[in-house]
Structures are given as C-alpha cells and as structure tokens.
Amino acid sequence: MEIYGLGIIAVCMFVGSFLGNILGNLLGVKGDVGGVGIAMLLLVLISNYVESKGKPFPEKTSKGIEFVSFLYIPIVVAMASIQNVVAAFKGGAVAFLAGGLATIGSMLLIPLISRIGASEKNYNITK
C-alpha cells in the first residue's frame, strides 16, 4: 500500500529528528541539528539494504515515497510564499551577492577539480 511508503519516510524523519536533537543538545544548540540530512541518509541506507537483500519495496510502497518527492517543489513554492520578502528586500544586495558569487565561484572551480579527477584516473591506469 502507498501509505507504507509515506510511513517509511515518517520513520526516517522521526529517527533523524531524534538523532538531530541529541546532536543539537551535545552542541549546545536549541533544537534539531542536521536531522533532515540524517533522515535522508537513513532512507538511502534502508532502500539500498532491502534491494541488496533482493526484496525491494513493493511497487505501491515506492509509489508512496515518490509521490511525496514529487510534492517537494510545490512545497518549496508554498514555503517561498510565506516568507517575509518585504523585509528581505530591504537588505536585498546580500541575497544577490551571496547567491551570485557562490554560483560563479563554484563554476570557476570545475576545471580545477576535474583535473584532479583526470590525473587520478591516469594514476590508476599506470598502476
């Protein structure tokens, strides 16, 4: 059933949030630290584990998970529509500079890091 898929995400979210809260407490930060990331890793591990055992999730179960992931962009759109954009615009330069420079800088790093990958491959071949 599709609801099993929804339930699997829920379990991952609970475990992730639990561990995130423990991590938050250890770091002295109020609330959940990295819980979403932990939950994502958990979902990757669970789905890969059941597949490696030769018993992947039934089609309807995975449809349930995929359904939620298709809602991801619409939910982000809803999230954008409830932000305090009026206040954000007052300090707008920070958004354009931070986003813009991060993008352009990252792109300029591509040839540098690709070269590391290429030389690594040569190394493996000569070995």
Partner 1 sequence: MVINIISEFFKSNGLVGAIGIIALVMYVAYYIANSIGQKRMGSAFAIIIGLVLAYIAGKYTGGKKGLADIKLFAGVGLLGGGMLRDYAIISTAYGVKVENLKKAGLVGIFSLIVGVLFSFIIGVIIAVLLGFKNAVDITTIGAGAVTFIVGPVTGSALGASSEVIALSIAAGVVKSVLTMIITPIIAPKIGLNNPTAAMVYGGLLGTTSGVAGGLAATDPKLVPYGALTATFYTGLGTLIVPSIGFLLVKIIFG
- Nearest approach, Cβ of residue 87 and partner 1 (Å): 4
Radius of gyration for the alpha carbons in the chain, expressed in angstroms and rounded: 21
Please choose, from the candidates 37, 46, 78, the residue with its C-alpha nearest in 3D space to the C-alpha of residue 65: 46
Residue with Cβ nearer partner 1 (73 or 125): 73
- Nearest approach, Cβ of residue 53 and partner 1 (Å): 13
Distance (Å, whole) CA 7 – CA 36:
16
Whose tokens are 């423990």? That residue is 22
- Nearest approach, Cβ of residue 126 and partner 1 (Å): 17
Provide the residue count of the chain. Answer: 127
36 with 16: CB under 8 angstroms? yes
17 with 32: CB under 8 angstroms? yes
- Nearest approach, Cβ of residue 43 and partner 1 (Å): 5
Residue with Cβ nearer partner 1 (18 or 36): 36
